[in-house]
Amino acid sequence: MITATKKWIFLKISGALLIPLMIWFILNLIKIYDQDSISLLAFFSNPLSKFLFSIFIVNAYFFSALSISEVFEDYIKNSKIKNVANKLLYASAVVIPLITIILII
């Protein structure tokens, strides 16, 4: 399978998965928005919330990295700069969610 086709399929799957996770997160954020910090801690103490939030964060960064990578492919002509930009983008798409998940756990 061509790399561009794989990227396109991953973009569509991660985008489709992001919709229910975003709805879940927004509904829970509305519930705990005006609450005290104990409610926030209770939300993130729940194993199901931790799991869903972790999946949400990883998927959101994966989706954004793929999307921004396409912008790099289209608009950066110099291949060295494009490769460095993509490598930094993918590294940050792994490191930032990993740090977030570690801090939640």
Q: C-alpha 34: how far from its chain's center?
A: 25
Per-residue tokens: 26: 């927004």
Share of the chain above pLDDT 70, in %: 100
Mean pLDDT, rounded, for 26-55? 90
Tens digits of per-residue pLDDT, 3-30?
Answer: 778 888 999 999 999 999 999 999 999 9
Half-sphere CA count of 71, side-chain side, radius 13 A: 8
Asked if 70 contacts 7 with a C-beta cutoff of 8 angstroms, the reply is yes
Where is pLDDT greater, at 68 or 40? 68
Asked if the 3-104 domain carries CATH number 1.20.1300.10, the reply is yes
- What are the residue boundaries of the structural domains of the chain, listed by start? 3-104
Asked if 58 contacts 98 with a C-beta cutoff of 8 angstroms, the reply is no
Whether the CA torsion 94, 63, 42, 37 is positive or negative: it is positive
When pLDDT is cut at 50, 70 and 90, the band that residue 35 belongs to is confident
